[in-house]
Amino acid sequence: MRLSPRLKTISKFVEKDTLVADIGTDHGYIPVYLIEKGIAKEVIASDVNKAPLESAKGYILKKGLENKIETRLGNGLKVLKPREVDTVIIAGMGGILISEILSESSMIVKDIKNFILQPMVASEQLRRYLYNNNFKIIDEKLAKEDNRYYEIIKVQLGKDNIEDPIFLEIGKKLLENKDPLLDSFLAKKLKKIRKILKNIEENGNVFRNDKYNKLKIKYNKIKRMKESI
Ligand SMILES: C[S@@+](CC[C@H](N)C(=O)[O-])C[C@H]1O[C@@H](n2cnc3c(N)ncnc32)[C@H](O)[C@@H]1O
């Protein structure tokens, strides 16, 4: 079975012989891959909506893996009992929804060893939530599909501190690891900021514009970061 770069990168963060829950599984590709590759021992595949869960069920049956992958219908981590799994994957949702799912189930969260989170948007808000709620980012990777970048964040419980707010937007681990996609990821961010700066320059008074000044500082930080890799 071939996975897309995004799903494959998510799977790379799963440790061998673990018990995994894939929350919001939809098609069920991650659970099937983790079992077929002998990475996970067992997986609970859940979804809050019936139709995606049915599609996952169909795929799991087709692969003959129903004895290794259990499907459950329900909201977030509420489908789990304490200590049932050691790894939780929440991928392909917005960063705010991911943080809500975590905050709604503190009794489940406290016994999970690894969380693998992949926000489609609002990664900055998700990292802020993690830093403020006793989660520690232990690793990050980027994946790219077509012209879109995906941030995949591996998290454990524990205290972490952040030296600069720029690391809410750009994962510090990406820089420490010199992620192979970081240079082009930053180039894309710089291009986007340049466009906004230019717009403000053409349409207003840049000197008294707070947004402009903040963006300019951010632009220079990211530029220096890009030069340092
Ligand atoms: C875009 S799909 C992502 C599927 C897969 N995880 C991936 O990354 O390719 C998002 C899935 O999350 C499910 N979902 C949304 N909110 C959820 C929640 N609170 N609990 C469980 N599943 C949820 C949706 O029904 C949908 O099937």
Among candidates 170, 128, 167, 135, which has minimal Cα distance to 154?
135
6-62 pLDDT tens trace = 999 999 999 999 999 999 999 999 999 999 999 999 999 999 999 999 999 999 999
Pocket test for ligand 1, best of 13, 26, 69 (most atoms within 8 A of CB): 26
82-112 pLDDT tens trace = 999 999 999 999 999 999 999 999 999 999 9
CATH number of 5-161: 3.40.50.150
Q: Which residue's alpha carbon is at the smallest distance from atom 8 of ligand 1?
A: 92
Amino acid 208: pLDDT? 72
Pocket test for ligand 1, best of 43, 47, 53 (most atoms within 8 A of CB): 47
β-strands 135-145, 148-157: how paired? antiparallel
Give the pLDDT band (50/70/90) at residue 205.
confident
CA 224 / ligand 1 centre spacing (Å): 36
Does residue 24's CB lie within 6 angstroms of at least one atom of ligand 1? yes
CA 172 / ligand 1 centre spacing (Å): 27
Does residue 76's CB lie within 6 angstroms of at least one atom of ligand 1? yes
Has residue 203 got a pLDDT over 90? no
Burial of 93-114, coded b for 16+ CB within 10 Å and e otherwise, reads: bebebbbebbeebeebbeebeb
Does residue 152's CB lie within 6 angstroms of at least one atom of ligand 1? no
Does residue 21's CB lie within 6 angstroms of at least one atom of ligand 1? no
Report the C-alpha gap between 116 and 24 in whole angstroms.
13
Amino acid 185: pLDDT? 98
What pTM, to 2 d.p., does this model score?
0.96
